[in-house]
Structure 1
Amino acid sequence: MFAYCSDPSALDGLSWLACYLTSGKHMLFYGSFATVLLLLAITAPVALAFGFAGAMASRSHFLPLSLLGKVYTSVVRGVPDIVFFLFFVIALDQGIEWLRHKALCPDWTAAVRQGNDFVVCPQAKMPLSTAPESIHEIYNFSLAVFTFSIVFGAFAANVLYGAMNAVPRAQLETAHAYGMNNRQSFWRILVPQMWIYALPGLGNLWMILIKATPLLFLLGVRDIVYWARELGGSKTAIYDYPHPDWRIYYFLFLLVFYLAFTRVSEIVLERLTRRLSHGQATAAGEELRRAA
């Protein structure tokens, strides 16, 4: 980063520390925070969409669709997250490569399953071995987003299903009495009012999602935990910046980051709860009416 950093062995004190903290690997470490924030920014709305679809399916009067929604929420919630991440990502990756293998290499005669190995033709690899490193990172990140969305979408579906049932039935009956059909009462009466009941559960899911981001390294993404462990480990004289085991300092920095992030999230959720409580027949809504 700085011109005087070209010879780390000649540095000491603050100059050494400044060059150390601005080295190439530290730049990747700082960039990994953006990776985590991007994962949260994409996963949260996608998981909410999965949850909304799952809740609607569970409420459906069409039996196969209702069973599909209930099986999705029950099975995914019943499997430990780390097991689901390890199994689902491998299965999804191999499924994509198998479909590409069947389409691109119809003349391939060897078995795809060869003991513990999964062997497809080179053209079917996803991504291709000749693809740049950025393509591999984007592919792994996409798998991570999809996996996180499915897992947290199942929990969100259960929360939204309960929130939909919490809306007073009398309000839906009143909507029907005014001539609304089921679709109109759902979108105009049920959906706008369910969020105040769903927000506590969704807020908890958001906090859990934040804490689950360190599992990114299981999906092949170099996240902040990976770099903290990599940079903080003991470095001998063969490295440009040798130092003893400093992992405790890196992980303390991550502790501060996560605590600050969750505190900001709590403030936002409190304000959102207050905003959604206006006009609602809830304890918070009644408190706002009395204060006014």
Structure 2
Amino acid sequence: MFEFCVEPDTLGRIQWLSCYLTTGKHMNFYWSFLTVLVLLAITAPTALLFGFGGASAARSAFAPLRWFGKAYIAIVRGVPDIAFFLFFVIALDQLFEYIRHRIKCPDWEEPIRQGNDFIVCAAAKLPLGNAPQWVHETYGFFLAVLTFAIVFGAFAANVLYGAMQAVPRAQLETAEAYGMSRRQVFRRILVPQMWLYALPGLSNLWMILIKATPLLFLLGVEDIVYWARELGGSINERFTDYPHGDWRIWYFLGLLVFYLAFTRVSEIAFDRLTMRLTHGQATIGGEAMRKAAT
């Protein structure tokens, strides 16, 4: 990046470090922080949407839908996260390719499953073999986001289901007494009231989601953990102009600071959101606010 970086061997320590920290690989390392933030920004609302659907299904009066909602919550929560992450990435990829295969290659006569191999026609591959690299990376990131959303959506569904159950039944019965339909009670009374009960659980789930982002490394996405390991390991002068010893402790220390700072900012945001939602509510938190004000 700097003009004086042409001859690294002649540089002083500060200049050498400034050149080292602005190499192309380090730019990828810095960009990977944005990858993590984008993952969280997309996954959190998507998982919340999955969770709301799962919680609503678990409360449904229609038995098959209720069984589906409760099964979704129980199965995903009962399996280790890493197993689901590795399973869903493969399963979703094959599902998408199978659907495309049926649409684009209806005359295909060979079996798709051939032993341990999953074989579809070339037109059904995702992404296509001649697609540029950014398409492959975007598709991998999309599968990772969808997998995160499905897994953490089950945990969110459990939290929201409990929050819906915590809303005082008397409020729902009062709304029904005023002539509201079941849907109106759900939309106007239950859903607005449940968020305050759900917020502590959702805040914990958000923290867990933050801590789970290094699993991107296992899903083939070049995230901050991948680059910290690659850049921090011992590098010989045969392979780079900036050789160094094992610096992984410093790179992972940087990740530690990043995650702790991000967690602290999240705690402050959730505290303020809790205060905002508690204001005026007929709950223990709302009563505490009223007593503090007087």
TM-score, scaled relative to structure 1 = 0.96
- Residue identity matched to 2:81: D
Give the Å deviation of 1:65.
0.7
CA distance in 2, matches of 1:195, 1:266: 17
Secondary structure of residue in 2 paired with 1:129: coil
| Number of positions where the alignment pairs a residue of Structure 1 with one of Structure 2 | 292
Secondary structure class of the residue paired with 1:275: helix
Using the alignment, how far apart are the partners of 1:189 and 1:210 within structure 2?
Answer: 31
Matches within 5 A, 1:160-171: 160-171=160-171
SS in 1 for 2:218: helix
Q: Which residue of 1 aligns with 2:128?
A: 128
Alignment of 1:211-290 (within 5 A): 211-238=211-238, 239-290=240-291
CA distance in 1, matches of 2:22, 2:155: 40
- Taking structure 1 as reference, are residues 161 and 109 closer, same or farther at Cα in structure 2, changes over 3 Å only? same
SS class of match (1:131): coil
Give the distance between the partners of 2:276 and 2:106, measured in 1 at CA.
58
Kindly state the Cα deviation for residue 98 of structure 1 after the two structures are TM-superposed.
2.3
| Residues 23-78 of structure 1 deviation map (CA, whole Å, 9 limit, x = unaligned) | 00000100000000000001000100110011111110001111111111111111
In the TM superposition, residue 12 of structure 1 has moved relative to its aligned partner by: 3.4
Per the alignment, residue 198 of structure 2 pairs with 198
Q: Distance in 2 between matches of 1:103 and 1:23?
A: 45
Aligned AA (1:20):
Y
- Measure, in 1, the Cα distance between the counterparts of 2:119 and 2:10: 50
Amino acid at match of 1:270: D
| CA apart distance, 1:164 | 0.5
Measured in 2, the distance between the counterparts of 1:132 and 1:36 equals 22
| Distance in 2, Cα, partners of 1:185 & 1:107 | 52
SS in 2 for 1:60: coil
Deviates more, 1:1-10 or 1:153-162: 1-10
Q: CA offset at residue 117 of structure 1?
A: 3.0
Instruction: Quote the residue 2:152 is aligned against.
Output: 152
Q: Which residue of 1 aligns with 2:56?
A: 56
Helix, strand or coil: the match of 1:219? coil
Spell out, residue by residue over 1:127-173, the C-alpha distance to the aligned partner (whole angstroms, 9 max, x if none): 01111111111101110110000001000001001101101000111
CA distance in 1, matches of 2:81, 2:125: 27
Give the AA of the match of 2:252. F
Deviation, structure 1 residue 109 = 4.1
For residues 165-213 of structure 1, give each alpha carbon's deviation from its aligned partner in whole angstroms, at most 9, with x where no partner exists.
Answer: 1010001111111221111111111111111100000000000000000
Structure 2's unaligned 5+ residue stretches are none
Deviates more, 1:258-267 or 1:274-283: 274-283
CA deviations 1:184-243 (Å, max 9, x no partner) are 111111111111100000000000000000000122211000000010011001112110
Aligned-partner residue type, residue 63 of structure 1? A
Per-residue Cα deviation, 1:69-115 (whole angstroms, up to 9, x for no partner)? 11111111111110001111111111222222333334444443344
Trace 1:175-186 onto structure 2 (pairs within 5 A). 175-186=175-186
Bigger shift: residues 116-125 or 77-86:
116-125
* 1:266 maps to amino acid: E
Shift of 1:291: 2.0
TM-score normalised by the chain length of structure 2: 0.96
- What root-mean-square deviation, in Å, do the aligned CA atoms of Structure 1 and Structure 2 show? 1.3
Q: Does 1:210 align with 2:210?
A: yes
Amino acid in structure 2 at the alignment position of 1:17: L
TM alignment of 1:107-146, pairs within 5 A: 107-146=107-146
Q: How far apart are the structure 2 equivalents of 1:174 and 1:122? A: 60
Deviation at 1:244, TM superposition (A): 0.4
Partner amino acid, structure 2, of 1:197:
Y
